[in-house]
Amino acid sequence: MQTAFEAGCALAGIRSNTGDLSDSVTAYAAWGQRDGSDNALINSSTLINNVGDISSSAIRSTRSGTQQSGEVGLKGNFQTGPVGHAWTLATTRFTSDNSFKDARAGIPGTTHFDNLDFGDTPTSPGYGVTTSQTRATLGSYALADTLSFADDRVQWTVGARRQRVENTTENFGDWASKVSYDESRVSPATALLVKVTDKVSKHALRCAPM
């Protein structure tokens, strides 16, 4: 598979804010968006026999898409006797929407290894309707608490995250099809950190996969 040419552009922006709700609680939020597109001519060549004949085809492909991500949360700290707590509650969301317009370009169907001839530069096929589309949404809710003991020399973090992944791919026209995926799971996690000296720490982590 070869790419004869490819051109693309993207525009992205990010914004974040934090604010103290009290001496021990802080709210934060972040959001970002990326808009991008690609325009490519992709050539596929296959050696079809031992004498050097090559089968060749080309596809013009354009893509346009938007990705958005955001996070909102609270974090704070409090004390229960000799145990300190640093907690976080957060939710995140990511979406991706891409549309493709593909069309086969007119080039000679076969050529020879010793005398490669792919013909004239193909003209850009007229693009009309969208030929395929992908949509993805990832979301999560998470809660974690870090417990501190012995003047913060021992820190134990416990938490859990509920994650959901949704994805849909659609093809239109003669090859119409639709494939969807939608799964969610709660993933617990725990970590232990021990400060052996002021410069040396040991830690262990366990997290359940998605």
Secondary structure E strands in 21-82: 25-47, 53-80
Per-residue pLDDT of the chain (210 residues; tens, 9 = 90+): 555 555 667 778 888 999 999 999 999 999 999 998 888 877 778 888 888 888 887 777 888 899 999 999 999 999 999 999 999 999 999 999 999 888 777 666 788 888 877 777 666 655 667 889 999 999 999 999 999 999 889 999 999 999 999 999 999 887 789 999 999 999 999 999 999 988 899 999 998 776
Quickly count: other Cβ atoms within 10 Å of residue 154's Cβ: 13
Using the structure block, give the residue that is written with the tokens 């004949």: 53
pLDDT of residue 97: 95
The predicted pLDDT at position 189 comes to: 94
Which pLDDT value is given to residue 9? 73
Q: Output the pLDDT for position 84.
A: 95
How many Cβ atoms are within 10 Å of 89's Cβ, its own excluded?
15
pLDDT given for residue 209 in this prediction: 72
Contact, 101 vs 83, CB < 8 A? no
| Domain ranges, residue 53 | 2-207
Strand partners, 78: 85
Q: Which of 102, 96, 38, 94 is CA-nearest to residue 64?
A: 38
88: domain CATH number is: 2.40.170.20
Split into its structural domains, the chain has a count of: 1
Q: Which letter does DSSP use for residue 153 in this model?
A: T
pLDDT at 52: 87
pLDDT value, residue 122:
65
- Residue 173 phi/psi, 5-degree rounding, is 85, -145
At 145 the pLDDT is: 97
Pairing of strands 25-47, 83-105: unpaired
Phi and psi at residue 106, in whole multiples of 5°?
A: -85, 105
Q: Is 126 exposed, middle or buried (0-12, 13-18, 19+ CB in 10 A)?
A: exposed
> Which pLDDT score, from 0 to 100, does residue 186 have?
95
